[in-house]
Structure 1
Amino acid sequence: MASRSCKSNNTVQCSASTKRHSEESLERPSKKSRTSPSSPSDSSVSSRPWIVTGESTTSSKRKSTADETEEGPRKRSRVTPIPAEDHRETSCGSFHNEDAQPSSDLEDHDVPKISRLAKAIKAAFEEKYVEQELLGKGGFGAVFAGYRRQDNMPVAIKHIHLSSVDIIKVPGDSGDRELPLEVALLQQANPPESGPSAVVGLLNWYVVGQEVIIVLERPVPCMDLGDYFKTRQFPMPEHEAKIIGKQLVDALIEIHSRGVFHRDIKMENILIETGSDVPRVRIIDFGCGTFVTEEAYTSGPGTPMYRSPEWIINRRYKAEPATVWQLGVLLYKMVHGYFPFNYPKNKVFGNLYVRNNLSNNCQDFLQSCLLKTLEDRPTLEILKDHPWLV
């Protein structure tokens, strides 16, 4: 499992602690700044981050993100009116909720009172969920398996240090509220009324002490696409890759249509449910995500081997072309067994090799996703109707 650590003050810094790809050595070290426009949310938020609890009404083994990214200005989303400046000025210690204890009661750093409240929130979490074995950990925190006591529903419980969490403002009926960016993205990508979704469901979230705890749906049985790939014929037969590719295109259209940009589509961030004859794709880990905007992004391009040529050339990229590139890299690796480009310069100057024993439609699909100029790449909607997937 990949690992990272993130720190959110005025910007968010992410550093990779996983095995480095050869591409990383040729790209300059960088910082990560997530864009953080906001979206409506149903989670409740309290007056201090160490006593926050929130819930989602929706119902995942989680992999972390390995990336090093470039610091840049936050972008304003077309799906929200909240200015980016407000997000940068957000303090992790200024959550508000009508049901929470008034902040004036805690102004003098009443440590015993804070401790009692934190213990109460933790007790509420433990009353509802049982935490079990570790699924993985890294600089960002840790993810545990678990289940919900009420009905034994499997869950994934993600612990993140508060200092690693980006906080955004979200408009609500009684004014702006503040909540973790990842929570806001999950709520918008998979709202309660949406029905079945490719995005794993957010169940609850809490802030206890210096930790944010996010409780997610955990499909069983399942494995991430990287592990699934290793269990199949190597490289994966084209007809199997096509089943996964079609679902991925549909899932990414769904996510983008709701104004969410995942930014880190790769094998480790895709779960494959294996309980039926046809594997089902689920998308996880929105920790490096942001909201869709028409403007170019200058930070957070995702895992090095999946970065697009436009990032290498001018440290800028756009949401849909970058997603299409990542999709192409992923599917290329599935049917070839290796990445299409081993070095950044090859993405810009090299030629793409595609196996000639693949069908013409498959070759064309991969080549169109991996066009070097972002304007030349097809949209996700065009890919949905590509002959290879029809």
Structure 2
Amino acid sequence: MIMGSRISVCRSKRKTACVIEKYEVVPEVENQYLAQEEVRRRSLDSEGDARSLTRLYDIGENLSRIGQNKVYSGVRISDGAPIAVKKLLKKKVVAWGELTGKPVPLEICLLDKLKHITGVIKMLDYFEDYDCFNVVMERPDPVADLDCVINQRGLMDEPTARRLFRQIVNVVINIMTAGVVHRCIIAKNILVDQAGFIRLINFGYGAFLKNNVFDTLPGDALYHPPEWIQHKKYHPRSTTVWTLGIILYFMMHATMPFRTSDSILNDKPWLLSNLSPELKILINRCLSKGTLERIKLEQIPRNYWMNIGYDSSCRDEISRHCSRVSFNEYVDVEDMG
């Protein structure tokens, strides 16, 4: 199984002005692209980025379609390493940033910012063509997304789920520490390789983290939290905890806890009787309806169930890491006005 067949689309309709280090989200950059289209078309000739791509990489078959964007398999010519190429059509990009002084899709900015984080899919390079950007990424092989893994093998045992969930929580905390929120953490956007290590993919809905609420929430509606359904706004960290709870539930039950907006608002998740009491507590705390009652993101790595079978040195390292993260947003979303 290969990566591209399991990538799902995440696109954001939000355009936000924000500066973080060398990246700048430019609200009117789409108009800028329209004005410069002919100049770019002329400048990207046979010696441009598109031809550089084919000199360095052998591009193969189309693996998948992500909305209007396609993902291709390929190999790096120099060493034969497997790669994937995601083609981002300029006319479909709705969030732009700036990198090395040039406007690029915000997804490229985020991948560049997160390149040091273990568990995030690695962007190896990117190339601009007159109508698109070609994003070259690592391609673990063999690999499957978490949704496929669960649908094929069924229920997970708790030690296996714990190992995967610890990795997922760790990478989520790390990207937020770096000032980024993914906003589409679903099973299809989590790859699992043959050794059991995860990669978080598809940052098309990603954004720079901010301290106030967000008012757009893309992605799968089955992962949406009650506060979004009720108020159409949310805190990124408390909403991320909710989606992590959905993923943990899915790993243990091979089905989703809620099927409609009404059930998200009103129903308690049904839990298998053979789950350990500690796991039931963690799932219920992640899926608490109220944001104030929900477990905090930085508390999850310290949870008792998360550390069963792991020695104290692992727990101490997690505690030191979480102590460096600022989580001061936790007020009820209704109080934000």
2:21 and 2:212 map into 1 onto residues whose CA distance is: 14
Find out whether 1:148 has 2:76 as its counterpart: yes
Structure 1 partner of 2:137: 216
Structure 1 partner of 2:110: 185
Structure 1 vs Structure 2: percent identity of aligned residues? 27
Give the conservation status (yes or no) of the 8 Å contact 2:85–2:136. yes
2:271 and 2:131 map into 1 onto residues whose CA distance is: 49
Find out whether 1:345 has 2:262 as its counterpart: yes
3-state DSSP class of the match of 1:297?
coil
Structure 1 partner of 2:298: 381
**With CA pairs under 8 Å and 6+ residues apart, which has the higher RCO, 1 or 2?**
1
Find out whether 1:258 has 2:178 as its counterpart: yes
Structure 1 partner of 2:318: none
User: Structure 2: 5+ residue runs without aligned partners?
Assistant: 308-337
Offset, 1:128: 0.2
Q: Provide the aligned C-alpha RMSD in A.
A: 2.7
Change (3 A) 1:236 1:145: same
Find out whether 1:170 has 2:98 as its counterpart: yes
Offset, 1:209: 2.4
CA distances 1:174-202 after superposition (whole Å, capped 9, x unpaired):
xx542210000111122xxx3x6100111
The residue type paired with residue 28 of structure 2 is E
1:299 and 1:140 map into 2 onto residues whose CA distance is: 20
User: Structure 1: 5+ residue runs without aligned partners?
Assistant: 1-59, 96-102
Structure 2 partner of 1:295: 212
Structure 2 partner of 1:203: 124
Q: How does 1:1-390 map to 2 (within 5 A)?
A: 60-61=3-4, 63-65=7-9, 74-75=15-16, 79=20, 87-91=26-30, 93=32, 109=38, 114=42, 117=45, 120-170=48-98, 177-190=102-115, 194=116, 197-232=118-153, 234-274=154-194, 276=195, 279-390=196-307
TM-score (norm 2): 0.82
Offset, 1:300: 2.8
1:162 and 1:147 map into 2 onto residues whose CA distance is: 24
Offset, 1:280: 0.4
Give the conservation status (yes or no) of the 8 Å contact 2:58–2:74. yes
2:32 and 2:160 map into 1 onto residues whose CA distance is: 48
Change (3 A) 1:379 1:78: farther
CA distances 1:323-356 after superposition (whole Å, capped 9, x unpaired):
1111111110111121111110111122222222
Give the conservation status (yes or no) of the 8 Å contact 1:272–1:280. yes
The residue type paired with residue 29 of structure 2 is T
TM-score (norm 1): 0.71
1:77 and 1:367 map into 2 onto residues whose CA distance is: 35
2:157 and 2:130 map into 1 onto residues whose CA distance is: 48
The residue type paired with residue 185 of structure 2 is I
CA distances 1:241-275 after superposition (whole Å, capped 9, x unpaired):
1111111111111111111100011111011011x
1:306 and 1:254 map into 2 onto residues whose CA distance is: 21
1:126 and 1:285 map into 2 onto residues whose CA distance is: 23
The residue type paired with residue 49 of structure 2 is I
1:81 and 1:184 map into 2 onto residues whose CA distance is: 9
